[in-house]
Amino acid sequence: MAQPLPTNSADAAALVQQFLMAHGGRYSSRATEENWKVVPVTLTVPDNPQILNGEWLVVPWDAPTPAHLETWLGRLRLAGAMPRVAVLAMDHPYLEPLLLRQLAMGHGLELVAVSADPPVVYGSRAADQVRLVLDEDERERMSRINPLDHLVSLGDPREPQVFLERLRRAAPGVPVTKALITINLLVFMAMVAVAGSYAKGDSGLLEVLLGGFSLPQLTAWGANTAPLTVGTAGAMAEPWRLLSAAFLHGNLLHVGMNLLVLRQIGETAERLLGSATYAAVYLLAALGGSIASLGWHAVHNPLAVSVGASGAVFGVMGATLGFALARKDAVPRRIYRALLNSGLWFTGINIAFGLSMSMVDNAAHMGGLVIGVLGGAALSRQLPPAPQPTTALRMAVIAGFLAVLALLYRVAAGLSG
């Protein structure tokens, strides 16, 4: 089906952009999914026997008087930003053809008007080429071209708008972050349901929610504690607690804070790394945080009981830092600074908060953060449509992290023995 004729200036601007794309044009100015039809955009057309090469400026034009156009052209000239062709996309043919030809000659560029009602193209000599947008066969060809696809695939990824559009298209959803939040909530609700069955009335249930679970309850559900995790005093080791502890929480405030932060930073990390890689980094950081906690408490408090997703959440923040550091040249400077600053502020504030409260497991935070930074850097990627790391390569990197974590677990077990 042929592209429909335009009904307003925005549609006319879109049609001209698709026409230029069909002849090899690419964006050389900012455009986003929200504004590409309604703001001036510049496209560069390469050497082409069918259409003038060089810069084409497409402008939605709603100023009907010749004086406005004369003033605008004068400002363009003063700014040194004269394109080879300026296309004025209009609702109606406000300007006279003779005026456009005179102004084009006087300012040394091609001026073309594209009107939606009635559908007409006129102006200086480039109008003969642009008039093809009204041809049904040409519009049939253009109907298969999406300017945004070209914007994303051909634009410079260091341009913030292009980078963000690629990021959104690379991962339109964040299923892993949603799944992790859901799992943590379901585990907490299950713990509340079991504990609440022994509570005395509604007041007892409220006490469970706010006051939290007892250490025996947390231990029974899989908390990380040296005597059981590494099997001290001749007991069989239960290393699975390193991971299960990351899905347990002490009370409603504990789970609420962790999942709020995970939702805020997890979406960005998942889009940067890709869902599968992000899931791997999350679990590696959870293990790293638990092992660090185990080693620290083996020296300072061997009977400590540790639970919470905070080590993994710190790992998620660390992964965004690692990605930014590893892909500094590919990440727009503004976004790079934002990732770096938010990561440093998050880390600094939480470390200070942890040092002020003895019940906060700073060792788990730092362990998760370190694994997250290293994992985010090692598993970083260029955003699609750039070539992606192979599955075999990603698996090899993950296996390397697991081998290091296994070694660190043995070290922590030795400290506990």
| pLDDT per residue as tens digits for the range 379-411 | 998 877 667 888 999 999 999 999 999 999 999
State the pLDDT at residue 197.
Answer: 67
Rounded CA separation 7/5 (Å) = 7
pLDDT-derived band at 21 (thresholds 50, 70, 90) equals confident
Rounded CA separation 311/366 (Å) = 7
Tell whether domain 170-416 is in CATH 1.20.1540.10: yes
Q: pLDDT tens digits, residue range 233-262?
A: 567 889 999 999 999 998 888 898 899 989
Question: One-letter amino acid identity for 165?
Answer: E
pLDDT-derived band at 99 (thresholds 50, 70, 90) equals very high
pLDDT-derived band at 207 (thresholds 50, 70, 90) equals confident
Rounded CA separation 80/74 (Å) = 10
Domain boundaries, the chain: 9-155, 170-416
State the pLDDT at residue 149.
Answer: 64
State the pLDDT at residue 392.
Answer: 93
pTM: 0.65
Rounded CA separation 356/350 (Å) = 10
Indicate if the pLDDT at residue 202 is higher than 60: no
Percent of the chain residues topping a pLDDT of 70: 89
Which residues is 110 bridged to in the sheet? Answer: 85
Indicate if the pLDDT at residue 81 is higher than 90: no
The token duo for 385 is 């449509």
Indicate if the pLDDT at residue 200 is higher than 60: no
Cβ distance 319 to 281 under 8 Å? yes
Question: Across residues 314-337, what is the average pLDDT?
Answer: 85
Question: Across residues 368-387, what is the average pLDDT?
Answer: 88
Question: Taking all residues of the chain, what is their mean pLDDT, rounded to a whole number?
Answer: 86
Q: What is the DSSP pairing of strand 85-90 with strand 110-115?
A: parallel
pLDDT-derived band at 362 (thresholds 50, 70, 90) equals confident
pLDDT-derived band at 159 (thresholds 50, 70, 90) equals low
In which residue are the tokens 């976004």 written?
A: 335
State the pLDDT at residue 172.
Answer: 78
State the pLDDT at residue 358.
Answer: 66
Q: Smallest Cα–Cα separation from 108: which of 141, 81, 137? A: 81
**100-109, 141-150, 206-215, 330-339: range with highest mean pLDDT:** 100-109
Rounded CA separation 363/294 (Å) = 8
Question: Across residues 120-133, what is the average pLDDT?
Answer: 93
